[in-house]
Chain A
């Protein structure tokens, strides 16, 4: 099967309008004849479920938490981008498009990114109409701030809780549809497999996490909004329950997985402090608007920060990148922090941290102003570290944060399985090899509010969809597979806990497939992962039963999938013999230690096809064609 991204013809700026006209429609009275399953209730899933129900479709929505309001989009802090140009500083749809393509190191699709920039303004309009309490200036108009990889202020924000507010907006819209009976909400359910009938996605099999019951749900189409796979590293900024299971199960059912090695390491997180640690906490990128990143000039300098005079401080980002300064993109900032620590200039007990210092900003703007902008972040930092960042600089270090890779989708956001759509972080579509700050919220809501409502109609109107019910043999078969997998996990009765093995996997991935990679390390990691997977299936212990509320069993299923998925990441990293964005292969770097792309050989999205059993997956290449921007070496100097 050749990869057809179904990108509409015509000039870039007209593609989406043209496509909207060409997409088939379903009349309002007929929409109620279609059932759509939406899995996940984050920004993408919540907004999609609400909007599809508003249009008249019957929607069934599933989430893993106790309420749709808790999806991990809620933790996004800094903001959401849009090309409104309210500050009058030279922004435009074209500039947002260009910054995003460049920020992604030219490994995303032009047409998708342009569409994202186009709908970005509608998102802000809609969110204000929903009552999102965005920050405002004294005149009552909306305020903006800057984020990495841009020289304009295009980020809208609600203090340091933008993700929370946007998610609660989508949740409130969803709640209205639930009350109207247009959405059936299934909370505390985990999708464990997809049901494919005649090549079409027609339902899912889920586990009811309260009573362990395996349930079947049918529909005319399935929309997957299940987030990213950052927890393959165990320690990440993701929520504890964030996982790859739904995405990996559909990969095994025939959906191709694109660019799994593209992971984002966020530069500003609170450093690791102990082996018991369960997660890493992000300190929003917005802090780099006012905070200055530095390390001591002399390696091994153990003085406290206040004792290190100005002349002996190295503001390495400002020096190396004078035009973007502390606001270089995340991949660049992370690699530079690592480089400083590798040179022995790291700070703190572990020497794996750099300072993020607000002293100058407080002197310039007063403490009250800084508190108003970032109060909740400073408070969170203080709670975790017991240090007051108003008095002493924060210590930060990069941590796994976001995954640009995901299930391959075409321009309609449909995967390689007919009727299976994938949105938000779970797909691969818009961020290339590196995502810019404040763009994840934009993409999730763009997909859910403004893209899927049209493209799913186009699919449903054109597809032949015979009647099926959950009595169909395919449902029975899928349920049996799910059940036997659960039984197998419970029967191992070994000597290591799930978390113990998952942590070991995380260390392997961080060491060999993290901020910097090399071929030898990747090969080694592949072996280690295979061994660890073997050990998991022989020596893990999962207490309790499958017919009960059993959090150990939940984690076991997720870890089992991470153990397989990790190998796919390694294979993808090995196949991509270049550096780009978050994928940094040490063999391919410029003299200034920046990622060196190989556009001649690797200007494509790699989509991996599961080949069954232990067979090597096959890679398919979607060439990325750049007709509107010049492929250049990224420079933020």
Chain B
């Protein structure tokens, strides 16, 4: 049932990367429970704008949970309290009248804050550039059905490929590790026959790059898996480790 609720928001405000930030308090009144969390922030921003104040900066784009642009830590949970949900798909019906809601940006050394809730996640792009691809130039491909791929493997590859690169795994991890993100891409490509020729090189280069960029290590906390909006399994981290070990010991790449 649709109803309206009143909340107290405590939102991280920080005017730039090197500035000091703080939590500011904003009342959120008459919030329809059918609103998404971002629509609720829109409403706050409209009010701030009309009052001549600086609206809250937050990243968002598709608002249907697929682009990976949005994200914030809500009451200590990346993307908020609902399982398997991005912030844009989190609806206000999951909050109660009178709640206090604390909203903070992703916090990780490798994700510096740009403004308020907006962080710089370009480190993820750099990890992909280190090997998250199959080196197939346009034009030379054989018929798409020439190499069958076992259905079960293809399904697992798709499970891993569903990663939206939002960074929640890093934000949720006490070590700010990017293992789930990196593991998902390595798994996606390693599970498909087309991805095998570069599998060893890919695992070594992507992991090295991940470490260099200041992400932490995995200590099996499983927070990443719990907060991933696409519910990507840590099995992918195990597969990455296996690929890395095999590459380190047995491949021609090392």
Residues of A within 8 A of B (CB): 47, 50-51, 54, 65-70, 72, 74-75, 84, 86, 122, 124-131, 133-142, 158-159, 161, 163-165, 168, 171-173, 175-176, 178-179, 185, 187, 210, 239-241, 273-274, 276-279, 281-282, 379-380, 383-384, 386, 449-450, 453, 495, 497, 499-500, 541, 543-544, 548-549, 551-552
Contacts and interface: CB of A to CB of B under 8 A. Distances in A.
Contacts of B16: 549
B134 interface: yes
B18 to A, nearest CB: 13
Contact of A543 (B2, B55, B84, B145): B55
A207 to B, nearest CB: 15
26 contacts: A54-B138, A65-B67, A70-B67, A72-B61, A122-B139, A124-B144, A125-B142, A133-B155, A134-B154, A141-B148, A158-B161, A159-B158, A165-B161, A168-B161, A172-B134, A239-B61, A239-B63, A239-B67, A277-B39, A278-B39, A281-B63, A383-B91, A450-B138, A543-B52, A543-B55, A549-B118
A33 B151 CA distance: 45
Given A168-B161, A543-B53, A187 B122 contact: yes
B46 A140 contact: no
A70 B68 contact: yes
Interface string B89-114: 10101000000000000000000001
Contacts of A278: 36, 38-39, 42, 63
Given A175-B129, A276-B42, 6 more contacts: A51-B137, A67-B124, A69-B128, A75-B62, A126-B139, A549-B114
Given A67-B121, A122-B141, A131-B134, A276 B35 contact: yes
B52 A133 contact: no
B149 interface: yes
Contact of B32 (A84, A276, A380): A276
Interface in B166-187: none
B91 A69 contact: no
A70 B69 contact: yes
Given A276-B32, A453-B138, A74 B67 contact: yes
B115 interface: yes
A41 to B, nearest CB: 11
B145 A551 contact: no
Contact of A129 (B61, B120, B136): B136
A130 B138 CA distance: 9
Interface in B26-60: 32, 34-36, 38-39, 42-43, 46, 48-50, 52-55, 57, 59-60
B66 interface: yes
A551 B67 contact: no
Given A175-B128, A276-B39, A386-B93, A69 B68 contact: yes
A40 to B, nearest CB: 13
B162 interface: yes
Contacts of A279: 63-64
Contacts of A240: 60-63
B240 to A, nearest CB: 16
B129 A75 contact: no
Which of B49, B85, B142: most chain A Cβ within 10 A?
B49
Contacts of A72: 61-62, 67
7 nearest A-B pairs in the assembled complex, by CB-CB distance: A140-B148, A172-B133, A129-B141, A125-B141, A133-B158, A179-B129, A128-B144
A587 to B, nearest CB: 36
Nearest to B63: A279
A159 B147 CA distance: 20
A497 B138 contact: no
Given A281-B64, A380-B89, A50 B138 contact: yes
B143 interface: yes
Interface residues of B, number: 79
Contact of B85 (A128, A383, A499): A383
B135 A176 contact: yes
Contact of B144 (A84, A178, A241, A543): A84
B105 to A, nearest CB: 13
A131 B64 contact: no
Interface of B: 2, 16, 32, 34-36, 38-39, 42-43, 46, 48-50, 52-55, 57, 59-69, 82, 84-85, 89, 91, 93, 114-115, 118, 120-122, 124-125, 128-130, 132-145, 147-151, 154-155, 157-158, 161-162, 164-165, 188-189, 192, 194-195
A274 B89 contact: no
A138 B151 contact: yes
Given A74-B66, A241-B61, A386 B91 contact: yes
Contacts of A273: 2, 34
A97 to B, nearest CB: 20
Contacts of A165: 158, 161
A535 to B, nearest CB: 16
Nearest to A273: B34
Contacts of A497: 46, 49-50
Contacts of A136: 148-149, 151, 154
A128 B141 contact: yes
Contact of A176 (B129, B149, B189): B129
Nearest to A541: B49
Given A386-B91, A499-B42, A380 B64 contact: yes
A72 B84 CA distance: 21
Contact of A384 (B89, B140, B162, B189): B89
A499 B134 contact: no
A552 B42 CA distance: 11
B161 A133 contact: yes
Contacts of B49: 497, 541, 543, 552
A176 B125 CA distance: 11
A122 B148 CA distance: 17
B138 A86 contact: no
A390 to B, nearest CB: 16
Contacts of B62: 70, 72, 74-75, 239-240
A552 B65 CA distance: 23
A125 B147 CA distance: 11
Contact of A551 (B2, B55, B138, B157): B55
Contacts of B188: 131, 133
Contacts of B2: 273
A265 B168 CA distance: 34
The winner among A133, A171, A173 for most chain B CB atoms within 10 A is: A133
A187 B143 CA distance: 34
B48 to A, nearest CB: 8
From B35, B137, B150, residue with most partner A Cβ within 10 Å: B137
A131 B192 contact: yes
A133 B154 contact: yes
Contacts of A84: 144
B35 A130 contact: no
A210 B121 CA distance: 13
Nearest to A76: B66
Contacts of B32: 274, 276
Contacts of A185: 125
B144 A549 contact: no
Contacts of A276: 32, 35, 39, 42-43
Contact of A126 (B138, B154, B157): B138
A384 B125 CA distance: 30
Contacts of B139: 122, 126
Given A276-B35, A383-B89, A551-B57, A175 B132 contact: yes
A426 to B, nearest CB: 17
